[in-house]
Amino acid sequence: MHALFVTASIADYEKARNELRERVIPTVSQAPGFVAGYWLRPQDGGTGNSVIVFESEEAARAGADQLKQTPPSEVTIESIEVREVAGHA
């Protein structure tokens, strides 16, 4: 398995959370190879993270490309890293 580790600046948390629930999660969960996704509330300063797990590196890279093309409106993507999942419970 491979995961996207995403760091983003969030301009308006409430608007971003609504878009996350209404558009992002339904779209991502339908992506080929999707396993699970976790979006973390931002800490001070409005920087948030997400971890989105896919069955393969290829699927994760396709997910990263999709995110780069259609980022949520209240979010500025700072970085997207594709990482191998070393373990899970």
pLDDT at 17 exceeding the cut of 90: yes
pLDDT at 55 exceeding the cut of 80: yes
Give the DSSP H/E element, type plus range, for residue 16. helix 13-19
Position 54, amino acid: F
Q: What is the pTM of this model?
A: 0.92
Answer for the pair 33, 56: CB distance below 8 angstroms, yes or no. Answer: yes
Q: What is d(CA 68, CA 8) in angstroms, rounded to the nearest whole number?
A: 12
Q: What is d(CA 5, CA 38) in angstroms, rounded to the nearest whole number?
A: 10
**Residue 84 carries which DSSP code?**
E
Q: What is d(CA 56, CA 15) in angstroms, rounded to the nearest whole number?
A: 31
Domains observed in the chain: 2-84 (3.30.70.100)
